[in-house]
Amino acid sequence: MIYINNKYKFYKTTNLYISNNFIEAPIPKAWKLILTSDGSFTQNLNSITNKIINVNIKKQYTQDYTNKKQIVRQVWLQDTDHNKLTFAQSLWYINKYSNIRLSDNIPVGQLFLESGVDIYKNIEEVYCGHSIYLEHHFNSKDVIWGRKYKMYCREQILAIVYEFFPAHIINII
């Protein structure tokens, strides 16, 4: 189970084994492409939909701990028709390598490109399941696919990201 916004739940019904960004399970190729892509998913959506993809910040705040700061960020990726295509929840570690300033409306991948920061994305989990909250916002009762990955810079963790995709997203591919 994954908590969204500390109160809504995502229930995993299936965990898929992933190794070196490769899924052996017999799932449609379109899903393998979405779930294992280590590039900018927002840019991929721009290309696939031929529409501008907007970042809609649902929530962003800083958590202060004794020895560290973290930024929690929750965003919706939407097309110009306001269709919600992806929900992402991320935890950003503030350290000397994370001089990225998270912007309200600029996709994270674009921020990395503009800043010249070289990152590595390690996809750790791929799963599908259900969430009343996400089903409501995606306007769908179908299964929701998701993935968890960590982003690194100079072998230091920058962020942990959870992304959730509605089943109907493959209809636009």
Going by CATH, does the domain composed of 2-172 fall within 3.30.565.10?
no
Per-residue pLDDT tens digits for 9-50: 999 998 888 888 788 888 888 888 888 887 778 887 888 788
Ranges of each domain in the chain: 2-172
The whole model's pTM is what? 0.89
Give one DSSP letter per residue of the chain, joined into a string: -EEETTTEEEEEEEEE-EETTEE-S---HHHHHHHH--S-HHHHHHHHHTSPPEEEEEEEEEEE-SS-EEEEEEEEEE-TT--EEEEEEEEEE-STT------SSS-HHHHHHHHT---EEEEEEEEEEE-HHHHHHHT--S-EEEEEEEEEETTEEEEEEEEEEEGGGGGG-
Per-residue pLDDT tens digits for 104-139: 677 777 777 777 778 889 999 999 999 999 999 999
